[in-house]
Amino acid sequence: MTRGPYYDKNGTKRGAWSKEEDERLRAYVERYGHSNWRQLPKQAGLSRCGKSCRLRWLNYLRPHVKRGNYTREEDEIIIKLHELHGNKWSLIAGSLPGRSDNEVKNHWHSHLKKQLENNRGGKSELKMKPSGTCGGETTKHFEPENPLLGFGAASSGNIISESSSSSSYNSFSTFDFGEENVANAAWGTFEEFGDFWTQPFVPENIYEQDSYYILNHAANEADVDVYSSYLFDNAEFLYQVMQEFPEDATKDI
């Protein structure tokens, strides 16, 4: 599915990455970080250019990176953010923990764009897959796969379901918020998301709330690891904050 490996006129390797190269890059970045991508390949013993290494790391090798299997709420977020910001893939990806700009861009061009074009003329809203035992009703609970998104983004609450059988999504799993959490989230219904969708949906909006969640609920480094699968960039920082200000970490919001 990728360009076969080859060497350009400067002797720099291009095309598909081998397992050995992946391991070499991963090991190097995990050990030494990536303060200088241009120097990194030389120091890591790779005959790639820095850009190629950076791309490979961001899109494929970095921890917690998610590939394929987009959830319903991720699709909704991409579509709405694209409506708001256009082709700002890095901005959109910033709202989807574990997704890279490249991945989001590809997903848009290969799936969502066509899906929207097909829907044009009818309702623009994507069809929602019902969850639990609510099938057959017109109003469904929308249960996010990613619990943290449920706190930070408009992924919980009630939505209007257009169809109960036509979704082709195969990765939709449910997360049981419980009534209390849903009530606390107080995100309302999808019909009422005017405010949410018209306000700038920048990563800070998610992180601000999710960061508080992590700060208050991560009891140890292992917990931070769990939460950081969604927000690992921030979690690392928050863990440091937690170490410095342990009293804040035990406070409720």
Tokens representing 90?
């890095």
By C-beta, is 114 or 251 nearer to DNA?
114
- Do residues 134 and 140 make contact, with C-beta atoms less than 8 angstroms apart? yes
Q: Is 67 in the site for DNA (CB under 7 A)?
A: yes
Q: Is 35 in the site for DNA (CB under 7 A)?
A: yes
Kindly indicate which of the ranges 8-16, 130-138, 202-210, 241-249 contains the residues binding DNA, using the contact rule CB under 7 A: 8-16
Chosen residue from 76, 103, 143, 210 binding DNA by CB under 7 A: 103
Q: Is 10 in the site for DNA (CB under 7 A)?
A: no
Q: Is 68 in the site for DNA (CB under 7 A)?
A: yes
Residues found in the chain: 253
Question: How many residues of this chain interact with DNA, rule: CB under 7 A?
Answer: 40
CA distances from 182 to 177, 224, 252 (A): 6, 23, 17
Q: Distance of alpha carbon 68 from its chain centroid, rounded?
A: 11
What's the chain's Rg over C-alpha atoms?
A: 21
Q: Is 200 in the site for DNA (CB under 7 A)?
A: no
Chosen residue from 23, 30, 47, 109 binding DNA by CB under 7 A: 109
Give the separation between CA 228 and CA 238, rounded to whole angstroms: 10
Give the separation between CA 148 and CA 167, rounded to whole angstroms: 24
Chosen residue from 43, 87, 124, 198 binding DNA by CB under 7 A: 87
Q: What is the DSSP string of 81-107?
A: HHHHHSS-HHHHHHTSTT--HHHHHHH
**Minimal distance, residue 213 CB to DNA, in Å:** 24
Interacting residues with DNA (CB under 7 A): 1-4, 8, 14-17, 34-39, 50-52, 54-56, 59-60, 67-68, 87-91, 101-103, 105-107, 109-111, 114
